Amino acid sequence: MQEKRYGMADNFFYVLKAVAKSNKKLLAISVIAGVLFCIWEFVEMYFLKYVIAAIEGEKGTSYMIMTVVVISLILMLLNFYGNYFWNVGEHEYVKVDTYLEKQRMNKVFTTDYKNMESPLFLDFLQRAKASLYYGMGFNGVLDQVKNIICEGAITIIAAVMIGAKSIFVVLSITVLSVGMAKILSYVTRIDKERFSDVMAPTYRKIGYLDGTARNFAFAKDIRLFDMARVFKAQYNIVNEYFIKMNKKHHNRWILGNMGMQFLLLAQTSIMYGWLVYFVLNKGMKISEFVLYISLVTSYYKAIGYILWIYSNVKGNCLMVNDYRNFINWSEDSENYSGSIGTKKDIKAERYTFEFEHVSFKYPGTDIYVLKDINIKIEGGSRLAIVGVNGAGKTTFTKLIMRLYEPTEGRILLNGVDIKEYDREEYFKLFAPVFQNIECFALPIYKNISFKDEEHTDMKKVEEVLKTSGLWDKVSSYENGVKTNMLKIFDTEGIDLSGGERQRLAMARALYKNGNIIILDEPTAALDALAEDRMYREFDNMVSDKTALFISHRLGSTRFCDNIAMFEDGQIVEEGTHEELMELNGKYAYMFGIQAQYYEEGKEDE
């Protein structure tokens, strides 16, 4: 995907639109807080002027005390309500953050499966995540809205008042301010490109090392294989690069700040030189002198603050730009007419698939994982997909499930190209059991239905657990199917052994009741005899549904209607077990080698 550059103003208004969609109240709060702090600033400026003017006008003590009390009360109220709205705004921002995070997570959940294997996509994912950190990205831009209103108003009003005395001073300060803005803009942009963007893969690596070190699943390997030493060495490599880049990052800003400080010194000299001239040559009153001292100081500070705000907003808008690039990441739908398939009615008595000259290679590579695959899978039949590791078996199943799209050729379902079907509806056809069986930090029933309790058929959960052979285990827990898995959210959470996880995956597939069952080497950790038993057991469970059994071992082949032997991304042999044994080719050779394990198992039994 080509990264798109949105303008600073475009990104700024994108933030405001996101806030308006998620929490309009927050915009009003930000404006009110900015206005109150601006008024507070000017009241404070005029405070001392009125006191001195009262002395110059020889007003009475009671008048002076009343003036001080009234202005103090006004300042106190303005400060109280300004801070009140500021803090309320911090609380209200949670709604905006939730809205933006939901959008980000929705993109993660719905993006093309292959993107989750793309380093570029994962880098953008990291950068989009960073744009939602507190004080950065969206929050950083919105936080400056109050300051823009306050400091902008101060700058304009002070410039008008000072300009009434000398337009030269205002023009000089403006020109120098533009110079500082140019320096800030340049340093901010360069630093974003050469530090923030470049560091995204490094942050991802640090996240991996940190997450792996804390992951209980890796704890045994880390200790028994002395992997701590390896991880420390890897972390040192990453950290050295981080330190190197961070040094360049700080040096870049040091040089930029030196340039800005020089221009600020010129600003200060002009402003104070002008003020001293008016006192000495224009007969300026003490009260007016004090007021203009405050105006000049506030103007000077406001200009500097606005420049900082500009730099801050520009940097945060670049992070917002990352978020937008991630959310707008173009999906390779590759459907008919270049749009998402729309056919939702996929119901049929039987589901027959046909691969027509299907080839596939991963994006960015010229190596085909599958090449010119032609095969028909009859509805209600059993297909065994066999071959050594790396032969292309799993890629074949991902293509049929539309996790990948063919690079060449097409896949038909009952004579219709699967690209024409609505993807979400198409996914509902499948009940897969993968090799890596994941358990989630949810109650057991949610690990099966993936729905809330009110939308889960608890009787069906019990039935599939009994069918899969896991009911006795689950029913022994105090909370039964409501027992939480893993200890992430529940310190009393339970875990399952490898074999029990396989049975949970079977229960999950049975509950979904998909029309096409796919078993992608879920029994790889079992011995040959146990695998053979489990495949046969599952074959009885799926009844008359279409089923694909994928394995590099041949325990699933003898009861299947058809067998496809994969090698180097191609189907080299196809037929029934008897036909392929009679052919005496690669399948027969592999089966002959593995047969001893099944025979030995029977003898042991």
Is 1.10.1040.10 the CATH number for 16-327? no
DSSP secondary structure string for all residues of 369-393: EEEEEEEEE-TT-EEEEE-STTSSH
Q: Beta strands 562-567 and 570-575: pairing type?
A: antiparallel
- How is the chain split among helix, strand and coil, in percent rounded to 5? 65, 10, 25
In one-letter notation, the amino acid at residue 237 is I
Q: Are 554 and 594 in contact (CB under 8 A)?
A: yes
> What's the residue count for the chain?
605
Q: What is the pLDDT of residue 530?
A: 61
CA 135/CA 158 separation, integer angstroms = 29
Residue with tokens 């027992």: 483
Q: What is the 3-state secondary structure (H, E, C) of 58-78?
A: CCCHHHHHHHHHHHHHHHHHH
What class does CATH assign to 350-429+514-605? alpha beta
Q: Are strands 546-551 and 562-567 parallel, antiparallel or unpaired?
A: unpaired
Instruction: Decide if 411 contacts 418 (C-beta within 8 A).
Output: yes
Q: Which amino acid is at 414?
A: N
- Cα 453 to Cα 435: distance, rounded to the nearest angstrom: 28
pLDDT of res. 371: 94
Question: Cα separation of 321 and 324, whole Å?
Answer: 5
The Cα–Cα gap between 312 and 334 comes to 40
Q: What is the 3-state secondary structure (H, E, C) of 294-312?
A: HHHHHHHHHHHHHHHHHHH
Domain boundary assignment for the chain: 16-327, 350-429+514-605, 438-513
Whether 350-429+514-605 shares its CATH topology with 438-513 is answered yes
Q: Name the token pair of 82.
A: 């300004």
Q: Which two tokens stand for residue 103?
A: 């959008």
Q: Are 144 and 15 in contact (CB under 8 A)?
A: no
pLDDT mean for each 10 residues of the chain (605 residues): 82 91 85 82 76 69 75 82 74 87 89 80 86 88 84 83 79 80 82 84 82 73 71 84 90 88 82 77 74 75 78 88 90 49 80 95 83 93 87 90 91 92 88 82 91 91 88 92 87 84 85 87 60 68 81 71 92 92 90 65 45
Do the beta carbons of residue 359 and residue 372 sit within 8 Å?
yes
SS3 241: helix
Sequence-distant (6+) residues with CB within 8 A of 389 are: 552
Q: What is the fold, at CATH topology level, of the domain defined by 438-513?
A: Rossmann fold (3.40.50)
State the pLDDT at residue 58: 62
Cα atoms found within 13 Å of the Cα of residue 324, Cβ hemisphere only = 22
Q: Tell me which DSSP letter residue 364 carries.
A: T
Q: What is the C-alpha radius of gyration for the chain, rounded to an integer number of angstroms?
A: 35
Burial of 359 (0-12, 13-18, 19+ CB in 10 A): middle
Using an 8 Å Cβ cutoff, are 464 and 448 in contact? Answer: yes
